[in-house]
């Protein structure tokens, strides 16, 4: 059972906007940045969003992140078929000498 | 450019110790703020963070696996080694190593190596 809670699945049609939530606690999301990773089938995860809402170079601005309190969200606008992937949130957790925690992942299906 | 590659056994027996090596290029583990982490993913399941070693040899471990994990670095060889003792079938997973940027995220990942634990 993952420390960060994500919905197991999400879906949308091409062009739609979808959001994926990530819920944590005061020791992780509540006091540290949130990161989002995209994992396409059979590949390694790719950094999508860092420090809550920053995009690495090369990531389209269709992807955006936000954080409020102990929760965070990833939004994907103008949904495309190639966005079908697993999405994971992550954060540093200050408890127990400090460690990273990941969400359980959300499988995004483009209908 | 930064690249990382995991290597090690593809099959280990229960109770054995797993030793994985991450060989990297394009950065130095003596650069302030930099690190290398290990993350695993059981087949069809979520990512699970295991350990992180920083440029200054500071180490962090997953609390639930801390007693079984050891992470070390060899800066001269550009390698990071992860050992996990007392392997069990539930440890069957793809193991990834990743570059940890000084800004606080994993931005480059290896391709991963599948380790199966079975007698």
Give the pLDDT band of residue A42 (cuts 50, 70, 90): very high
**Residues of A in Cβ contact (< 8 Å) with B90:** none
Is B115 buried (19+), middle (13-18) or exposed (0-12) by CB count in 10 A?
buried
Spatial distance between the Cα atoms of A35 and A47, rounded to a whole number of angstroms:
8
Residue A27 above 90 pLDDT?
A: yes
> Using one digit for the tens of pLDDT, what is the confidence trace for B13-58?
999 999 999 999 999 999 999 999 999 999 999 999 999 999 999 9
Q: Is A7 on the interface with B (CB under 8 A)?
A: no
pLDDT for residue B17 = 98
The C-alpha R_g of chain B, in whole angstroms, comes to: 13
Is there a contact between B64 and B50 (Cβ–Cβ < 8 Å)?
no
A35–B105 CB contact, under 8 Å: yes
CA-based angle B21:B10:B8, to the nearest 5?
15
**Rounded to 5 degrees, what are φ and ψ at B67?**
-70, -15
Higher pLDDT, B10 or A2: B10
């Amino acid at each position: 059972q993952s420390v960060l809670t994500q919905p197991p699945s999400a879906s949308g049609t091409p062009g739609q906007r979808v959001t994926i939530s990530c819920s944590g606690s005061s020791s992780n999301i509540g006091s540290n940045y949130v990161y989002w990773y995209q994992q396409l089938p059979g590949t390694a995860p790719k950094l999508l969003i860092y420090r809550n809402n920053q995009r690495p170079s090369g990531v389209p601005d269709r992807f955006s992140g936000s954080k409020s309190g102990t929760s965070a969200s990833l939004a994907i606008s103008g949904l495309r078929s190639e966005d079908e992937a697993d999405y994971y949130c992550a954060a540093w957790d200050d408890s127990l000498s400090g460690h990273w925690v990941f969400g359980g992942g959300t499988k995004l299906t483009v209908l | 450019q930064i690249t990382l590659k995991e290597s090690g056994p593809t099959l280990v027996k229960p109770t054995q110790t797993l030793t994985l090596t991450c060989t990297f290029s394009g950065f130095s583990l003596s650069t302030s703020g930099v690190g290398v982490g290990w993350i695993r993913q059981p087949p069809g399941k979520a990512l699970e963070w295991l350990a992180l070693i920083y440029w200054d040899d500071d180490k962090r471990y997953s609390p639930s696996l801390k007693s079984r994990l050891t992470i070390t670095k060899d800066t001269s060889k550009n390698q990071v080694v992860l050992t996990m003792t007392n392997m069990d079938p539930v440890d069957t997973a793809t193991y990834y190593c990743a570059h940890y940027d000084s800004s606080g995220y994993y931005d480059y990942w290896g391709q991963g190596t599948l380790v199966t634990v079975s007698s």
